[in-house]
């Protein structure tokens, strides 16, 4: 595991969310890439992820040990507000675009792991058009099953041979985080980051909410409308966490417990 550098992190029910500006994240990423150090990773943390973190010690450990735990979604902002924090959002799709923009002049090399067949390749093509000079080190779409040890070893060799600076992982929540935790010490790469649906949005496989909808905090509603079966259960977990966070904060306030304590 990497050594976390979350010098400023809000804690909501004991789950850390980094209080950093996008430029700080990019600069920290650039420093590690230039140093050649491996083992850094970023957690994109939404309320569903926080729900599971309260129930799965390994997932909480994953978020806590991340170099950055970045806010994904208005639910995190709402829960943070209840705990006395003003949390700013920096989700996976936006981080990927920012890294693409920032990394062009610095020669950052990107590897895209995950997504359905052809999605990573299409996303890479789109990002290359959006950011001329973007370096795509490679792509890989794994089958929808656990890889055999031999297959996994071949994936490790493939990624390492491409010499990426960032491995972007899109396997869905929990699965992508487990994959990153499993491979942190096996793949020498400065950064890994699980970005979930970002591959679908940037490839055009799934519509991304228009900028004005994202700006007013209603991206979740847009997602629910276009993917009701996929999103309904996940948003239920998110709602449970937000209500849980508010209830715990209220209980702690009435018992004079500091809001930053777990």
pLDDT higher than 90, residue 230? no
Q: Are 197 and 169 in contact (CB under 8 A)?
A: no
Domain ranges of the chain: 9-248
Q: Which is it for the CA torsion 67, 6, 95, 196, positive or negative? A: positive
pLDDT higher than 70, residue 2? no
**Residue 231's pLDDT is what?**
82
What pTM, to 2 d.p., does this model score? 0.90
pLDDT digits over 110-164, tens only? 999 999 999 999 999 999 999 999 999 999 999 888 899 999 999 999 999 999 9
**Residue 232's pLDDT is what?**
81
Helix (H, G, I), strand (E, B) or coil at 168: strand
Q: How far apart are CA 113 and CA 142, in angstroms?
A: 8
C-alpha 46: how far from chain center = 9
């Amino acid at each position: 595991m990497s050594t976390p550098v979350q010098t400023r992190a809000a804690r909501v029910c004991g789950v850390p969310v980094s209080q950093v500006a996008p430029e700080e994240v990019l600069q920290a990423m650039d420093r590690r890439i230039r140093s050649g150090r491996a083992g850094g990773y970023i957690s994109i943390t939404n309320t569903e992820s926080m729900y599971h973190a309260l129930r799965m010690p390994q997932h909480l450990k994953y978020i806590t040990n991340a170099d950055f735990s970045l806010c994904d979604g208005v639910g995190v902002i709402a829960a943070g507000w209840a705990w006395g924090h003003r949390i700013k959002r920096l989700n996976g799709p936006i981080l990927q675009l920012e890294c693409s923009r920032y990394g062009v002049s610095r020669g950052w090399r990107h590897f895209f792991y995950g997504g359905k067949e052809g999605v990573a390749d299409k996303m890479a093509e789109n990002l290359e058009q959006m950011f001329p000079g973007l370096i795509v080190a490679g792509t890989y779409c794994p089958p929808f099953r656990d890889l055999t040890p031999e297959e996994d070893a071949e994936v490790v060799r493939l990624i390492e041979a491409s010499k990426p600076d960032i491995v972007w992982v899109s396997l869905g929540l929990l699965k992508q985080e487990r994959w990153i935790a499993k491979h942190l010490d096996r793949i020498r790469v400065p950064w890994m980051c699980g970005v979930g649906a970002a591959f679908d949005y940037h490839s055009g496989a799934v519509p991304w909410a228009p900028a004005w909808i994202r700006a007013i905090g209603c991206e979740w509603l847009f997602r629910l409308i276009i993917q009701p079966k996929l999103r309904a259960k996940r948003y239920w977990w998110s709602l449970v966490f937000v209500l849980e966070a508010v209830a715990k904060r209220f209980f702690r306030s009435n018992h004079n417990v500091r809001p930053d304590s777990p």
